[in-house]
Amino acid sequence: MHYGVGKHNFKDSELVQASAVAHALGVTDAAVSKAKKIGRISTFENSKGKAMYHLETAKREFYANRNPSKVTTATNGQKAAGLTDFEARLSAKKNFGDDGEPLSDSEVFDFGKERAAREHFAAEMAKIKTDEMKGLLVDKSKASQKVYELASSVKDRLLSIHLKVASSCMAPLESALVDSGLSSDTVRNALSIGHIEKIIGEVVRKNVIDSLRDIISKEQENFV
pLDDT tens-digit series, residues 166-221 = 788 888 888 888 888 888 888 888 888 878 888 888 888 888 888 777 766 655 44
Predicted structure pTM score: 0.35
- The pLDDT value recorded for residue 112 is 58
* Mean pLDDT, all residues of the chain: 76
Distance CA 188, CA 173 (A): 10
Residue 49 class from Cβ within 10 Å (0-12 exposed, 13-18 middle, 19+ buried)?
A: exposed
| Listed residue (210, 212, 211, 204) closest to 167, CA to CA | 204
Backbone angles phi and psi of 43, in degrees to 5: -120, 155
Distance CA 179, CA 173 (A): 10
Distance CA 39, CA 31 (A): 12
> In terms of DSSP H, where are the helices of 2-84?
18-25, 29-37, 55-64, 76-80
Among positive and negative, which fits the CA dihedral 85, 90, 95, 100?
Answer: positive
In which band, very low, low, confident or very high, does the pLDDT at 86 lie, cut at 50, 70 and 90? Answer: low
Cβ neighbours of 52 (radius 10 Å): 20
